[in-house]
Amino acid sequence: MEIHKASTYAPVNIAVIKYWGKRDTKLNLPTNSSLSVTLSQDDLRTHTTATCSSSYQHDSLTLNGSDQDISGARTQACLRELRALRQEVEAQDSNAPKLSELPLKIVSENNFPTAAGLASSAAGFAALVRAIANLYQLPATPTVLSRIARQGSGSACRSLFGGYVGWQQGELDDGSDSVAYEVAPASHWPDMRALVLVASAEKKDVSSTAGMQQTVASSALFQYRAEHVVPKRMKAMEKAIHDRNFEAFAVLTTKDSNNFHATCLDTDPPIFYMNDTSRAAVRMCEAINKAAGRAICAYTFDAGPNAVVYYLADDEARVAGTFKSVLGGVTGWKSDIKTSDALEGMEHVGDMLKKGISRVISTRVGDGPRKTDEHLC
Amino acid sequence: MEIHKASTYAPVNIAVIKYWGKRDTKLNLPTNSSLSVTLSQDDLRTHTTATCSSSYQHDSLTLNGSDQDISGARTQACLRELRALRQEVEAQDSNAPKLSELPLKIVSENNFPTAAGLASSAAGFAALVRAIANLYQLPATPTVLSRIARQGSGSACRSLFGGYVGWQQGELDDGSDSVAYEVAPASHWPDMRALVLVASAEKKDVSSTAGMQQTVASSALFQYRAEHVVPKRMKAMEKAIHDRNFEAFAVLTTKDSNNFHATCLDTDPPIFYMNDTSRAAVRMCEAINKAAGRAICAYTFDAGPNAVVYYLADDEARVAGTFKSVLGGVTGWKSDIKTSDALEGMEHVGDMLKKGISRVISTRVGDGPRKTDEHLC
């Protein structure tokens, strides 16, 4: 029995203007636009193979070797939309095999620990949508695919593009204009580096899906953020990226991370994603910038205690090297990162980091999903 | 040589609608009104004796046995205003001794550890102003004295009254309408209890004087809090107190504490007063309320990691007793607080509290400054 097959890699993205809050929970339509940096698939990626065959009994999805429930409305929405696009292909070309009628078997693997609290669902849904689009040989653009992936997991839409990626909130009720777009390709500003400080496993305070709607419902400050703070920052961030202005990028990134976590704290009951280890990472970044006399690194935190520190290649020793002076003992360091001298007066902060950080991931800005002939099944 | 002498006790107050941000740093005029509960002087108080004599060389102030610098503009403003009021007395009564011309010697003692991070400057300035007003036999009302004490330390104005005390921000440029007022005396709602969880000594992140102006200058959310969030909460809180509605009081208290700390986190650079110990205190309060099926306790945090937990006398076992089940080993417990059973599933939170809390102070709502004949010199 014939088995049709296609595979892709898809990247993780880490937002610098944060997505937090939906105006439509079914369609994953956000209350505000957001912007992210796509990270290199050399370091962090989901690898997904999509296959279909009349020999299969039903649709199935495996992640890192374990069966996943795909009956959820979000996964179903992605599969339904992709099959509808395949039906258009089949309607236009009577020779095209009727793949839309065959059960799908999807096999997926992350090359990073899921427990690390990295935005694995973004890479996961982007890879799922991209792999099936490849399998179906859809003529769909990344923009169209971003609209579909968004319904699986909001921030997944941004992983359909490489480099610097916006997600416009859109205005239409059906969400058709709530899609990702390329602000600039990775090649526009290839020097961007990212150091992920993975905090020791601690149970997550509240899932981001539940948390963001609690914030929408109860924070007295949230609406002001969505309507007044973020729109200005989106424009300023796009300009910073176009201008390759790292200081502006850094100030906006840190401010928006803190602003997002402020609305979490203003939620009833309050949501705390940052902990004492996160605070130590903030203080270390501040000390690095102070020693440099300008902003050479920017921190951002998603819905968890991990810090992601952005910096430029030229400042690697002063940024990553300073963290390595404290955290040289944990796994994940690339050998080409030189250890710098520890900063004076930061012993207490260093001790906090040593106690709370279990590994690092050192990476950079990267491109969008990559087609591959390496199949997982 | 004759020495004129008068003494007072003055209370600590802990805000439930927070003061954070000045519109005039010289006059200590706030960006928003605030509201506090005055705590009992049986447990927490500043004791101050004001004396004056022609035998003194110059004005002086001693706190807990060590000389204080009184050359600062704030202390000087208080002394200047009080002397001006004394001059009015002297002008009207030619027999009144010219005390306004004599150097002052002020001796002050706190009955609680200054290091505990409690709002000692509020009680301190309230006591200083009240003691000198007594010494000068001023006919000034607590309202007038609150206007003077405000210039020493903003929140000190609220310690001139007992019970439930508001501080209206005022509108005039000279600050003459920025004064404290009694929302309700302690006798209106005498059952209010407070449990202070004193966090182990850790260097304070940023002083509140510096911190609040950093917030005013850099937070994207602060102005919205001051102009839109607090005014509604002031009205709702006054109603909750008039109605003796603890649930409403609790919801407003916790929300406003979190809202204030959210604007701190939104400051550039971010200010963190709450730490992992504070977060554990929040979680324990939430669990206590969940077990009770309604809000029987409310937490609030000032510019530091200490939690202040408000509750009513009837709920003492369920609130203070639950904390005692975890923190029974630290000093400060009153013997009449019964230890309750520990809440299920809160072992991790309990361990965090045990690790981070060094003592407790158990107290209640109390009255305003008390005149005393016990002199400290």
Q: List, for residues A145-203, the tens digit of each pLDDT value.
A: 999 999 999 999 999 999 999 999 999 999 999 999 999 999 999 999 999 999 986 66
Q: Does B109 touch chain A (CB under 8 A)?
A: no
* Rounded distance between C-alpha atoms, residue A178 and residue A182, angstroms: 14
By the 10 Å C-beta count (0-12 exposed, 13-18 middle, 19+ buried), B55 is classed as exposed
Residues A182, A232 within the same domain: no
Pair (B185, B200) in one structural domain = no
Query: Which of A127, A155, A186 is the endpoint of a domain?
Result: A186
Out of A229, A270, A286, whose CB is closest to B220? A229
Residues A216 and A240 in one domain: yes
Segment B342-366, tens digit of pLDDT:
999 999 999 999 999 999 999 999 9
Nearest to A231 by CA among A168, A176, A181, A294: A168
pLDDT for B115 beyond 60: no
Q: How far is B273 from chain A (nearest CA, A)?
A: 11
Same domain, A168 and A255: no
DSSP A220: S
The whole-chain average pLDDT of chain A stands at 95
Q: Which domain holds residue B343?
A: 192-364
With contacts defined as CB-CB under 8 Å, which chain B residues touch A229?
220-221
Query: Going by C-beta distance under 8 Å and a sequence separation of 6 or more, which residues neighbour residue B95?
Result: none
**Among positive and negative, which fits the CA dihedral A262, A267, A273, A277?**
positive
Q: What is the pLDDT of residues A303-316, one digit of tens each?
A: 999 999 999 999 99
Pairing outcome for strands A60-63 and A104-110: parallel
CB contact under 8 A, B265 and A258: yes
Region A211-215 average pLDDT: 95
Residue A229 Cα, gap to closest chain B Cα (Å): 7
Residue to test with chain B: of A258, A267, A297, most B Cβ within 10 A = A258
Q: Residues 200-229, chain A: which have Cβ within 8 Å of B?
A: 220-221, 224-225, 228-229
Nearest to B104 by CA among B148, B143, B68: B68
Nearest chain A residue (CA) to B252: A268
> Tokens 């003494």, residue?
B7
In chain A, alpha helices (H) = 73-92, 120-135, 142-152, 208-218, 222-224, 230-242, 246-265, 276-292, 316-327, 347-356
Helix (H, G, I), strand (E, B) or coil at B296: coil
Residue from the list B258, B269, B286 with its beta carbon closest to the beta carbon of A265: B258
Query: Inter-chain contact A268–B254, Cβ cutoff 8 Å?
Result: yes
Q: Which of residues 283-302 of A touch B (CB under 8 A)?
A: 286
Domain boundary among A136, A162, A186: A186
Do A256 and A213 belong together in one domain? yes
The pLDDT of residue A116:
58
Nearest to A272 among B259, B269, B279 (CB): B279
Point out which residues pair with B15 in neighbouring strands: B36
Instruction: Give residue B204's pLDDT.
Output: 66
For B228, which residue in chain A has the nearest alpha carbon?
Answer: A220
H or E element in which residue B34 lies: strand B34-38
Give the gap in angstroms from C-alpha A342 to the nearest C-alpha of chain B: 21
Residue A370 lies in a domain: no
Q: Considering only the beta carbons, identify the residue of A251, A262, A276 that sits closest to B262.
A: A262
Could you tell me if B71 and B170 lie in one domain?
A: yes
Q: Pseudo-torsion of CA B259, A304, A227, A240, nearest 10°?
A: 120
Mean pLDDT, residues A34-49 taken together: 97
* CATH code (residue B52): 3.30.230.10
* A16 assigned to some structural domain: yes
Percent with pLDDT over 70 in chain A: 97
> Is B345 touching A (CB cutoff 8 A)?
no
B240-253 residue pLDDT tens? 999 999 999 999 99
Q: Please provide residue B370's backbone torsions phi and psi, each rounded to the nearest 5 degrees.
A: -115, 125
- CATH code of A196's domain: 3.30.70.890
pLDDT tens, residue by residue, A270-284: 999 999 999 999 999
**Residue-averaged pLDDT of chain B:** 95
Residue B119, pLDDT score: 67
Per DSSP, A227 falls in state I
**A262·B221 Cβ contact <8 A:** yes
Please give the pLDDT value at position A317: 97
Last residue of a domain, one of A144, A168, A186: A186
Q: Does residue A167 sit in the same domain as residue A226? A: no
Band (pLDDT 50/70/90 cuts) for residue B81 is very high
Per-residue pLDDT for B4 more than 70? yes
* pLDDT score for A1: 76
Query: Stretch A10-19: mean pLDDT, rounded?
Result: 97
